[in-house]
Amino acid sequence: MEEMPEYQICMKCGKRSTPYMKNCWKCGTPFFLGGEDYSLINPNDAVKEAVETVEPVIEVEEIMPCKLDEMGFSDKIFAYSLMFRGDIIVKFCGCEKCRDAYRDLLAFFRECSPEDEAIIEEVNNTDFKDVAIDLSVYGF
């Protein structure tokens, strides 16, 4: 049985996805074009010369609760594992789904109900768009 890689790297945006996904979760680019598997191409080979002259910038990936909600079960598990390791941070876009997730997280951290009036008022009075949270620092 062939061993699957831990994750695929999108050749368009450079984001990681599970080895089972057909498209990149971030930009939607298909991993398999015309029968060829582009997901297993080593991206370092494509930029080998550039790496020698430019220091790599490590960018932490981001995921929004609204995008996470659209994923399948196994993709969510993969994304959560990356979040808990600190490889992906949670960022909120301002939509209703992200607002609800922000309220749930705020209530969790404050150890109260998401329906608590103080939590609801705070969420309604907070511009949480572009707020980013690294869940790995909480030791889950």
Domain ranges of the chain: 1-59, 60-140
Q: Any idea what DSSP says for residue 2?
A: P
* 15-43 burial: b if 16+ Cβ within 10 Å, else e: bbbbeebeebbbeebebeeeeeebbeeee
Quote the Cα angle for 116-98-86, to 5°: 105
Residues 6+ away with beta carbon under 8 Å from 46: 11
From residue 48, alpha-carbon distances to 15, 54, 83 in Å are 18, 10, 29
pTM over 0.85? The answer is: no
Beta bridge partner(s), residue 62: 89
C-alpha 92/C-alpha 6 separation (Å) is 27
pLDDT in tens, the chain (140 residues): 555 556 777 877 777 777 767 777 777 788 765 545 544 445 555 444 444 444 555 677 889 999 999 999 988 998 888 888 888 999 999 899 999 999 999 999 889 999 999 999 999 998 988 888 888 887 76
